[in-house]
Structure 1
Amino acid sequence: MGVLTVFFLALLWDLLLGEPPAKLHPVVWFGKMAGFLDKRWKRKSPLRDFLAGTLVALIVVIFALALSLLPSYLPFPLNYALAVYLLKSSFAIRSLYEHVARTVTRKVEEKRKAVSMIVSRDTRALDEAHLNSASIESLAENLNDSVIAPLFYFLLFGLPGALIYRAVNTLDAMLGYRNERHEYFGKFSARLDDILNFIPARLTVLLYLPFGGRKVLRYYRLARFKLNSDKPIAAMSAVLGVWLEKPGIYRFPGRTPENDDIGRALRVYWFIVAEWVIIISLLFATEVFPCLSP
């Protein structure tokens, strides 16, 4: 058995069983640690808040690293079983599909509720077209965050890479807000997430090329609103030919997104996931990247 076997078993777990129970999910642990420490710190000054937030991020990252190293201290087959479990916890292919698939409905209020579960924006005032857009945007962005990026870092650095990426991504989701409470406390987490997502976000765009060709590159050049998150969204907009918009922040051109376009986006999603799985498998099989063995 080797790293490729661990990868395939984790993939099989994800596709057949989905997510582990929340109480046993490492990503949930990362979030609870960040939330607990966030609540305990009373805001004082920009510098102190920044330093405290940096310390919180380092604590969670060190915890993720410690978890990732546990399999190396266990005998066979427990080491492989834990490695499979931890790797599976770092990505979410089936779960992402299921959450977005719930938004494929012509009942607007039902759609509104489903979309509110996968985006941070207030969906109460969104019309049907913007609800469709928000669903597709979430799918495109999380394709990078929940699939491409964690497996990219697994490819490069093994289990520590995958879990540390997921910890940083969770920290950004919990603390990386530009509001009074988190402007300085979450700044380190947000910037670290930006750094780790820089290459994966652009790699995700490349994976869209077989489905949109030069149009994907043209839309990529339009994505100047954010450092990373708008790049996969621009690529999905290009492939589907629909406008995707977060009002006041970005808008990519195209026709009005309809309910059926969410289903089309999900089909594109599966093609890109398959493409990425094949690439990873070939790279592991040919040992192009020296990866830490579980």
Structure 2
Amino acid sequence: MDILIFALLWDLLLGEPPTKLHPVVWFGYIISALDRRWKRRRPILDFFAGCLVALAIIAFAFALSLLPEHLPFPLNYLLAIYLLKSSFAMKSLHEHVARTITEDVGEMRKAVSMIVSRNVKSLDRPHLISASIESLAENLNDSVVAPLFYYLLFGLPGALIYRAVNTLDAMIGYRNERYEYFGKFSARLDDILNFIPARITVLLLLPFGPRKVIRYYKLAKYKINSDKPIAAMSAILGVWLEKPGYYRFPGRGPQLKDVKRALRIYWLVVAEWLLIVLLLKRLVVE
């Protein structure tokens, strides 16, 4: 049986591997260490240093993906399943978003802070709910659609390298004084890799409200990729989703019941995508 089946079963039944043994955590440790060691200098030097950091993480991900080829059966098979599973996170994403469904605003703020990079201290209840739904929509692409898309194209190396680039973008791909140049290469590379998957994600959401999704998609002009699934989710739920100062998609005020609805839609889209991936994988094998 293909390693993909076992990796999917692992995710759905067991969730994430132990933190210290998770390849994505390893990527994060290395990125953080290199980031701390590099003292910011001139923009051009910062840019090239950031390029070298990105290439080092990508090389590490590629080397990890080749490791199973050098091990005997069944260790090679088990390691390949483990590494592939670490590239996507279906169950974990659901669990993190589900924790934001609480009447206690303090608890909600704490849970939302675990899944978004923005400062949640000043967010009111509707904006906290919005942030939760936005994270679900964006990570539907980043944590499910995109890694499996690159697995289909390039196998295990594709899935792990995508996850490495996505981790780089999440950690250093910011437009601020510290990362404007150091993280620019990682941010642009993440934009390139997510261009097709983000639009596939919108297509997967399209059946839940075709006309409105298309209309909202045209409003998504803030980001090259990440706001596209957010716009589609906003259209389907009929609620406004907003990152203050950056974008706002129209609708009524979001409520806790909308997070529950969003999670139901999430699993339907995951089912759609897994069916497509498994069918395409079978066609390629045959």
Instruction: Give the number of equivalent residue pairs.
Output: 286
Q: Among 215, 218, 225, which residue is 2:215 paired with?
A: 218
Deviation at 1:63, TM superposition (A): 0.3
| RMSD of aligned alpha carbons | 1.0
What SS class does the counterpart of residue 245 from structure 1 fall into?
strand
Q: Among 36, 45, 49, which residue is 1:48 paired with?
A: 45
1:282 partnered with 2:262: no
1:160 partnered with 2:157: yes
1:135 partnered with 2:138: no
1:199 partnered with 2:199: no
Q: Sequence identity of aligned pairs in percent?
A: 74
What SS class does the counterpart of residue 178 from structure 2 fall into?
coil
**Structure with greater contact order relative to length (CA < 8 Å, sep ≥ 6):** 1
Cα deviations by residue, 1:62-106 (Å, 9 ceiling, x for unpaired): 000000011112222111111100000000001000000000111
What SS class does the counterpart of residue 47 from structure 2 fall into?
helix
Q: Among 229, 243, 250, which residue is 2:247 paired with?
A: 250
Tell me what 1:175 maps to.
172
1:98 partnered with 2:101: no
CA distance in 2, matches of 1:209, 1:43: 44
- Comparing 157-166 and 116-125, the one that deviates more: 116-125
CA distance in 2, matches of 1:109, 1:234: 27
Query: What letter is aligned with 1:241?
Result: G
Q: Among 59, 62, 65, which residue is 2:62 paired with?
A: 65
Matches within 5 A, 1:75-94: 75-94=72-91
What SS class does the counterpart of residue 242 from structure 2 fall into?
strand
CA distance in 2, matches of 1:125, 1:244: 16
Deviation at 1:255, TM superposition (A): 0.8
CA distance in 1, matches of 2:222, 2:178: 24
Deviation at 1:272, TM superposition (A): 0.4
Deviation at 1:270, TM superposition (A): 0.3
CA distance in 2, matches of 1:43, 1:112: 33
Tell me what 1:147 maps to.
144
Query: What letter is aligned with 1:136?
Result: I
Deviation at 1:127, TM superposition (A): 1.0
Deviation at 1:125, TM superposition (A): 1.1
Deviation at 1:279, TM superposition (A): 0.3
What SS class does the counterpart of residue 284 from structure 1 fall into?
helix
- Comparing 105-114 and 270-279, the one that deviates more: 105-114
Tell me what 2:16 maps to.
19
Deviation at 1:60, TM superposition (A): 0.4
What SS class does the counterpart of residue 287 from structure 1 fall into?
helix
Query: What letter is aligned with 1:107?
Result: D
Please give the TM-score of this superposition, normalised by the length of structure 2.
Answer: 0.98
Tell me what 2:186 maps to.
189
Query: What letter is aligned with 2:96?
Result: H
- Comparing 245-254 and 105-114, the one that deviates more: 105-114
Please give the TM-score of this superposition, normalised by the length of structure 1.
Answer: 0.96
Deviation at 1:214, TM superposition (A): 1.7
Q: Among 28, 32, 43, which residue is 2:29 paired with?
A: 32
Deviation at 1:178, TM superposition (A): 1.2
What SS class does the counterpart of residue 139 from structure 1 fall into?
helix
